[in-house]
Structure 1
Amino acid sequence: MIFPLRLLPLLACAFLTASLHGAEMLDYEGGSYLIYRVDKDDRPRLQLAWLDEGGKPLHDFNGLSRQLAARGRHILFATNAGIYEHGPRPCGLTICVGQELVPLNLKAGEGNFYLKPNGVFYLDDQTGPGVMDAEEYARSGLRPRLATQSGPLLLRRGVMHPAFRENSPNKRLRNAVGVRKKDGQIVFVMSDREDGVKGRVTFHQLSRCFLHLGCEDALYLDGDISSMLIQPEPGVRFTSNTFAAMFFIAE
């Protein structure tokens, strides 16, 4: 994760304010998390991108940054979206700027993406954001501006995925997205990459964190590859990585 230098001395605080309602560091039930919130007024600025203008994958934050720079813009916030397969191609539903680039995937398989129920995070500019079971989404008739499918579904209506165990030994770097029940705030959460102990959490811990933040619906995005940018300096080069779709806000 990259922060502007002027914010680095503040990271020890429980709450960190930055533009676009900014970022927080939260310690909760043995885990350490970076949190980025998108309020209602900022929803139109949240975007999802996978391909460049030539139809090729952007691959990582460097590809996204180059594409934005060509338009005279730069990243304010970015994080990786759902799990991908060879390509990199998203494993499931991907909608960018209202265009479905990858269809909903309801197949069975191995790995986190296929740990049913999996789910979809979506954002419709009229009805707002949401997270739902992928099969529920298939019946919904929704046509959102952006959407990503991933798995497992952490929470639906406040109920945790049945496979999660409080005493699980499987602690990893993880990121996810949720929607706060009281006001539809979009909440991105990533465990702290820099903390080798508290930054490695279970699915159960991550789900509990979202409940603490007031989110009853939340979707896991990915694991060890996960990264998040908060106001990086324009023109900086980022560590190479491999993502498929990426959420971002730019100016």
Structure 2
Amino acid sequence: MIRPIAPAGAFLLLAACASNGSIDAACRDIRFEGSRFTVCRADPQKHELMLVDKGKDGRPMRDFTGLEPRLGPRYPRIAFAMNAGMFDASGLPIGYYVEDGAEQKPLNRRPGPGNFHMQPNGVFWGDAKGWHVATTDDFAKNKPDHVRFATQSGPMLLIDGQLHPKLAENGTSLQVRNAVGVGLNGSAWFAISNEPVSFGRFARLFRDRLAAPDALYLDGAVSRLWDPVSDRLDGGAPIGPIVVAFQTR
């Protein structure tokens, strides 16, 4: 499967601004159970994570091209960026969302259809202690006093090393998907499939290859990655919130 890329003009603009040779590779292509994936590691000793949704004009960006005016001088330090949670028709998150310490959407615990509401769903967040993935219920019970960033999505793929109880080992629903998991050493792993895969295979990637006991599904079909170091810029449908990894050293 060939992933769509952004228009040439947008690609050249992003590449010229961010590929300055001083950013180390954080993403790599791998094979797992016969399927192709790209995995990106954010190292807490080397990277800083940030969530962004609205651009400098205050409206949802819907694409990676809005990052430069939004981030300003931090923009050249981007190691990678990926869509980071489900959103409504306008591009706003449908679940709990915190950006720069400010809560923009409350925790969503309403029942409903679709992947987001497949219980248990979960939250990926950062605080003074590091980066975390947990079920929505666990997060609500142990919510820290200050959350630096957070995005709620669903379903959970892994909970304490176990597949989500409603996920088949290798179901018939195949999509290009992306997700996040946190390893035992505190690293955050972001993965995107480079071909349609099942939920079960995607979950096992985090458990068996990336050693991340807890992993959260971010989205499918619209999943996109920007990796400036490898000149990869996925195009496609408009997206919502974006997670950005900055290299700090």
Equivalent residue, structure 2, for 1:247: 243
Q: Do 1:131 and 1:156's aligned partners in 2 also have CA atoms closer than 8 Å?
A: no
| 1:29-178 alignment runs, 5 A limit | 29-43=33-47, 45-68=48-71, 70-71=72-73, 73-74=75-76, 75-124=78-127, 126-142=128-144, 143-178=146-181
Q: CA deviation at 1:51?
A: 1.2
Give the distance between the partners of 2:156 and 2:74, measured in 1 at CA.
37
CA RMSD of aligned residues (A): 2.5
Equivalent residue, structure 2, for 1:200: 196
Give the secondary-structure state (helix, strand or coil) at the position aligned to 1:86.
coil
Equivalent residue, structure 2, for 1:228: 225
Q: CA deviation at 1:189?
A: 0.4
Give the secondary-structure state (helix, strand or coil) at the position aligned to 1:205.
helix
Residue deviations 1:119-170, cap 9 Å, x none? 000111x211111111211111223211110000011111110111124111
Give the secondary-structure state (helix, strand or coil) at the position aligned to 1:26.
strand
Q: Give the TM-score of the pair, scaled to structure 2.
A: 0.83
Q: CA deviation at 1:80?
A: 0.2
Residue deviations 1:29-82, cap 9 Å, x none? 122110000112134x211101123421111111123423x4473343110000
Distance 1:178 1:55, change over 3 A: same
2:213 aligned with 1:210, yes or no? no
Equivalent residue, structure 1, for 2:14: none
- The alignment-based identity, stated in percent, is 34
Give the distance between the partners of 2:240 and 2:38, measured in 1 at CA.
21
Residue deviations 1:69-124, cap 9 Å, x none? x4473343110000111211111011111111111100000000001100000111
Residue deviations 1:184-232, cap 9 Å, x none? 110000001xxxxxx2111100000001210000000000111111116
2:214 aligned with 1:180, yes or no? no
Give the distance between the partners of 1:160 and 1:186, measured in 2 at CA.
18
Give the distance between the partners of 1:250 and 1:180, measured in 2 at CA.
19
Distance 1:240 1:225, change over 3 A: closer
Q: CA deviation at 1:243?
A: 1.4
Give the distance between the partners of 1:240 and 1:191, measured in 2 at CA.
15
Q: How many residues are matched?
A: 227
Give the secondary-structure state (helix, strand or coil) at the position aligned to 2:46.
helix
Give the distance between the partners of 1:233 and 1:22, measured in 2 at CA.
10
Distance 1:163 1:237, change over 3 A: closer
Give the distance between the partners of 1:140 and 1:67, measured in 2 at CA.
32
Give the distance between the partners of 1:20 and 1:144, measured in 2 at CA.
28
Q: Do 1:62 and 1:237's aligned partners in 2 also have CA atoms closer than 8 Å?
A: no
Equivalent residue, structure 2, for 1:7: none
Q: CA deviation at 1:26?
A: 1.2
Equivalent residue, structure 2, for 1:13: none
Structure 1 gap ranges (5+): 5-17, 193-198
Distance 1:186 1:237, change over 3 A: closer
Give the distance between the partners of 2:79 and 2:151, measured in 1 at CA.
20
